């Protein structure tokens, strides 16, 4: 028997990543995002949802640029810090020990310690209820070479990204590969 628990987002896990942003004066910040993902293939577009009360929000609106930094599970604590500490009170770069690396197109730093960094340019902002959606085009993607195979595909089991479960408020590893796109057709 199923129980109706009300209106809850129980899609789990959802990606956990750190967005970097900067204002026009070059001041930058880190913000953990768990409401985000891919929305289009051509052009490559992503989204992230941010509350307008967050310290990063004005930076995101002012420049229209950000970087999505995908951490491995070894950076779970630092990812959590970027979500629970406010830039109004803390320098998150200093708290986490992350290293700033210049991006190739946007004027926002990337996080050296994250194996994947996607430079993004905001194309639309959609105001919703608690969050606003930043729809962005990915203009460059950087991956540490040790996490790439011979076809430049990310080796997920080596990178070890993790997800967030909104309903339980927990971080989870992704576990093991259980199939691949199209494998069900081969079973016929």
Give the count of alpha carbons within 13 A of 149, CB side only: 7
Q: Give the C-alpha separation, 125 to 134, whole Å.
A: 5
Name the CATH code of domain 14-186 (choices 3.60.20.10, 2.30.110.10, 3.90.1300.10, 2.60.120.560).
Answer: 2.30.110.10
Residue with tokens 């200093």, as numbered in its chain = 94
pLDDT at 187 over 70: no
Q: What is the pTM of this model?
A: 0.92
pLDDT tens track for 25-67: 999 999 999 899 999 999 999 999 999 999 999 999 999 999 9
Chain mean pLDDT for the chain = 92
* The pair of three-digit structure tokens given for residue 2, joined into one six-digit string: 């199923």
Answer whether 47's CB lies under 8 Å from 124's CB. Answer: no
Domain ranges in the chain?
Answer: 14-186
Residue 34: closest CA among 49, 21, 44: 49
């Amino acid at each position: 028997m199923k129980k109706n628990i009300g209106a809850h987002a129980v899609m789990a896990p959802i990606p956990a990543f750190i967005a970097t942003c900067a204002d026009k004066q070059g001041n930058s910040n880190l913000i953990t995002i768990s409401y985000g993902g891919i929305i289009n293939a051509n052009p490559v577009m992503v989204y992230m949802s941010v509350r307008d009360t967050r310290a990063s929000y004005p930076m995101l609106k002012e420049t229209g640029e950000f970087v999505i930094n995908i951490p491995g599970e070894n950076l779970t604590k630092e990812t959590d810090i970027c979500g629970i500490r406010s830039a109004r009170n803390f320098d998150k770069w200093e708290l986490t020990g992350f290293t700033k690396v210049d991006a190739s197109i946007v004027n926002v730093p990337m996080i050296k310690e994250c194996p994947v960094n996607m430079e993004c340019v905001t194309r639309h902002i959609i105001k919703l209820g608690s969050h606003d959606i930043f729809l962005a085009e990915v203009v460059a993607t950087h991956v540490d070479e040790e996490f790439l195979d011979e076809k430049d595909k990310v080796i997920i089991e080596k990178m070890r990204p993790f997800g967030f479960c909104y309903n339980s408020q927990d971080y989870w590893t992704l576990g093991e590969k259980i199939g691949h796109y199209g494998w069900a057709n081969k079973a016929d």
